């Protein structure tokens, strides 16, 4: 049997690699998608082979990740439950896509992942695999009773790794789980499972990788300009950049100023709540800037229509339905809404805050001649028209008020009559 394992070199997948060999008598091909883990990839191939992998495949998918996954999602204005920038969620469909392609190329019988049986990633990986390669078997160790008996928690996994000479970053002193890509880093489990634990305090000071705390950020603000074309950022401070380069540049700027730290209790797709801490410095800047250029260039009704779909779109990404027909249909609508989202946004970055400092666009729908509070010499907007506009919009409210008044009088008469009878 041959299995392609989504491999990161972390505690879970390192233990799983050895466990698959021992329990499935299988050749394991370790697949790692380079989507921005940076130093975490150093020595990964050697580590995979030492752990027992028959082969280790590492592919640079950073540009594809930024261009075909992150940017379309940001065009949609997606943010889950008003806080989460979906950094882990949006990475899974790309990893799954390449995993099934590698499995076919390697003539593998199955794919495997390290997602736990309580989280969202198991759903994301397996829904993507079902959409792209339904013939492949999916092995999910955490849903096997024998695996859970052997590893009831991370403490046992750490002990197994030590006993089998598998080097991992996790330890009993630092037990939280970390997942990194170009868009963000997520932290969960361990001490973070207590929602009262202050992840911004000294107890978590050494946890963060991409950003300084707002308190440690520079005392002087920094300005940055983002240029957009049809909803996608194409330049930063006048320098044309690819989607990958945009995120890399903004990550450095945002991290320097303590931007993009999020600590949330979110609703997982499997039904429970989970606590996650995230660093999304570049994504936080990009999401905010995109919204600002939309305010200048997007029609009101189009914006309200798209905004009404943000919760649905975000849930589709979060829940693993990236390759679903409904997400693709929504994406087509999003692309249409972005045709005129073109222009430049100037931002001020200061101690964890992203502040708009200017917007301009050749596609701007804002006309100062119409919006001015000074004397309007044009004929586009006649203030007298507002009288009839307000009167018509007030009609239903007046009718309802009259009905409520009649009902109130009737109720008082009934009460008075009842009182005389006593």
Q: Which residues are tagged catalytic?
A: 12, 92, 121, 177
The C-alpha atoms of residue 287 and residue 250 are separated, in whole angstroms, by: 11
* Structure tokens belonging to residue 276: 């996650």
* Structure tokens belonging to residue 82: 């008003």
- Chain Cα centroid distance, residue 300: 25
Using alpha carbons, list the distances in angstroms from residue 65 to 72, 97, 182.
10, 11, 8
Instruction: Give alpha helix (H) positions in 85-199.
Output: 87-105, 121-132, 145-150, 154-163
Q: Is 137 helix (H, G, I), strand (E, B) or coil?
A: strand
φ/ψ of 280, rounded to 5, equals -135, 65
Using alpha carbons, list the distances in angstroms from residue 105 to 48, 59, 99, 198.
20, 14, 10, 47
* Residue located via tokens 């609703």: 267
The region that residue 271 occupies, defined by phi over 0 for left and psi between -120 and 50 for alpha, beta otherwise, is: left
Say if residue 421 is exposed, middle or buried (CB neighbours under 10 Å; 0-12, 13-18, 19+). Answer: exposed
Say if residue 226 is exposed, middle or buried (CB neighbours under 10 Å; 0-12, 13-18, 19+). Answer: buried
* Cα end-to-end distance, the chain, whole Å: 89
Residue 65: which of 74, 56, 77, 55 has the closest Cα? 74
Q: What is the DSSP string of 265-297?
A: EEE-TTS-EEEEEEE-HHHHHHHHHHHHHHHHH
The C-alpha atoms of residue 23 and residue 144 are separated, in whole angstroms, by: 11
φ/ψ of 358, rounded to 5, equals 155, 150
Q: DSSP code of 84?
A: B
The C-alpha atoms of residue 261 and residue 271 are separated, in whole angstroms, by: 25
Q: Is 264 helix (H, G, I), strand (E, B) or coil?
A: strand
């Amino acid at each position: 049997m041959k299995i392609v394992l989504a491999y990161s070199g972390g505690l879970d997948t390192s233990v799983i690699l050895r466990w698959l060999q021992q329990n499935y008598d299988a050749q394991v091909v370790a697949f790692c998608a380079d989507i921005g883990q940076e130093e975490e990839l150093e020595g990964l191939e050697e580590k995979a082979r030492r752990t027992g992998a028959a082969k280790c495949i590492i592919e640079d998918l950073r540009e594809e990740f930024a261009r075909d996954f992150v940017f379309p999602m940001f065009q949609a204005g997606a943010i889950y439950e008003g806080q989460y920038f979906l950094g882990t969620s949006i990475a899974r469909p790309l990893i799954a896509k390449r995993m099934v392609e590698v499995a076919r190329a390697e003539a593998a019988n199955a794919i495997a992942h390290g997602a736990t049986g309580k989280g969202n990633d198991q759903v994301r990986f397996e829904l993507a695999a079902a959409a792209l390669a339904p013939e492949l078997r999916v092995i999910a160790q955490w849903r096997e009773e024998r695996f859970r008996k052997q590893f009831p928690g991370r403490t046992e996994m750490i002990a197994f790794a030590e006993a089998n000479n598998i080097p991992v970053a996790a330890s009993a002193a630092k037990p939280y789980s970390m997942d990194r890509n170009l868009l963000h880093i997520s932290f969960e489990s361990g001490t973070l499972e207590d929602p009262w634990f202050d992840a911004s305090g000294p107890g978590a000071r050494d946890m963060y990788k991409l950003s300084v705390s707002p308190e440690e950020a520079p005392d002087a603000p920094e300005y940055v300009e983002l240029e957009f074309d049809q909803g996608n950022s194409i330049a930063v401070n006048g320098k044309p950049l690819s989607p990958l380069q945009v995120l890399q540049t903004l990550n450095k700027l945002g991290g320097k100023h303590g931007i993009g730290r999020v600590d949330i209790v979110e609703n997982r797709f499997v039904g429970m709540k989970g606590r996650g801490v995230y660093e999304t410095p570049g994504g936080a800047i990009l999401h905010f800037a995109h919204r600002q250029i939309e305010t200048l260039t997007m029609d009101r009704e189009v914006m309200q229509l798209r905004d009404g779909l943000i919760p649905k779109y975000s849930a589709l990404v979060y829940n693993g339905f990236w390759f679903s027909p409904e997400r693709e249909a929504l994406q087509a609508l999003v692309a249409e809404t972005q045709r005129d989202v073109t222009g430049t946004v100037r931002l001020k970055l200061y101690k964890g805050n992203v502040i708009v400092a200017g917007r301009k666009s050749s596609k701007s729908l804002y006309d100062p001649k119409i919006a001015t509070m000074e004397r309007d010499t044009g004929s586009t907007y006649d203030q007298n028209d507002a009288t009839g506009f307000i009167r018509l919009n007030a009609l239903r409210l007046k009718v309802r008020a009259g009905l409520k008044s009649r009902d109130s009088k009737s109720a008082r008469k009934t009460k008075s009559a009842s009182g005389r009878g006593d």
